[in-house]
Amino acid sequence: MDKKYYEAYDDRYKQVHQSHNKPWAGYRPSPTIEKLLKKYGANSSSSILEIGCGEGQNAIYLLQKNYNLEASDVSPEAIRWCKEQARIAGVEEDRFFVMDILNNHLDKKYDFIFSVAVLHMLVDDKDRREFFNFVRNHLKGTGKAFIVVMGDGKMTRKTDSTKAFELSDRPFGDKTIQVATTSCRMVTWEQYLQEFEDANLKVLDHYLDKTISGFAMSMVAVAEKEK
């Protein structure tokens, strides 16, 4: 079967891991997620799901802090890398699994679901709707979602998803390397908040954040299911 455009990160991770044995995204967890977990009352028994964990920078940090977390990504290479890093860090590698959240469902609901820099990869309206549906369908009644995307709330951008697997030059440390282009869609605050509303998710808070590693500016939204 043909690969979907949003699977292009699998190529990028393989290209970087095989030639450099280093993570594409670095090892810097975002302080935002832990701050939000604390603010909304997470403890060591709260169930937490990360969507699109990539190379595990946030998930491994939170597992080391004893949070009850599971982390998923559509990229088998990302999950292979996470399991290896989990072994090195001394946390459970079984917490990581491969899943395309746009085409799968889990028989479980969570107290917290978070996602960092994943939604902006979804270019098609239908895929973005599926992302929000997955979040709503997997939150417990009072569960909270923290969704972080690239953007400043004003700029808009939509890349051509047919080019996601093409090679592009990208900075990597002090070098420029060739990796899969991947995809990107940036939306305004108005569009972003409308997407939550359309999915019957109530936004409790939203703000710009400069601390998400790899991005000059990110949009953070905290939401729960509409009652």
Ligand X SMILES: C[S@@+](CC[C@H](N)C(=O)[O-])C[C@H]1O[C@@H](n2cnc3c(N)ncnc32)[C@H](O)[C@@H]1O
Contact status: 101 vs ligand X (CB under 6 A): yes
Count the neighbouring beta carbons within 10 Å of the beta carbon of residue 75: 24
Contact status: 9 vs ligand X (CB under 6 A): yes
Contact status: 29 vs ligand X (CB under 6 A): no
Alpha-carbon gap, residue 84 to 10, rounded angstroms: 16
Beta carbon of residue 10, minimum distance to ligand X (angstroms, whole number): 6
Nearer to ligand X by C-beta: 141 or 173?
Answer: 173
Give the C-alpha distances (Å, rounded to integers) separating 60 from 80, 81, 89, 227.
13, 11, 8, 33
Contact status: 222 vs ligand X (CB under 6 A): no
Q: Applying CB under 6 A, which part among 47-55, 61-69, 139-147, 192-200 lies near ligand X? A: 47-55
Instruction: State which residue has the least CB distance to ligand X.
Output: 54
Contact status: 75 vs ligand X (CB under 6 A): yes
Contact status: 145 vs ligand X (CB under 6 A): no
Contact status: 116 vs ligand X (CB under 6 A): yes
Q: How many CA atoms lie within 13 A of 110 on its CB side?
A: 25
Among the listed residues 62, 118, 135, 145, the single contact to ligand X using CB under 6 A: 118
Among the listed residues 117, 179, 187, 222, the single contact to ligand X using CB under 6 A: 117
Contact status: 183 vs ligand X (CB under 6 A): no
Contact status: 63 vs ligand X (CB under 6 A): no
Among the listed residues 57, 85, 181, 218, the single contact to ligand X using CB under 6 A: 57
Nearer to ligand X by C-beta: 47 or 58?
Answer: 58
Beta carbon of residue 227, minimum distance to ligand X (angstroms, whole number): 28
Spatial CB neighbours of 23, under 8 Å, sequence gap ≥ 6: 16, 17, 55, 57, 81
Q: Applying CB under 6 A, which part among 34-42, 98-106, 171-179, 193-201 lies near ligand X? A: 98-106
Query: In the complex, which residues of this chain contact ligand X (CB under 6 A)?
Result: 6, 9, 25, 51-54, 57, 73-75, 78, 100-102, 116-118, 121
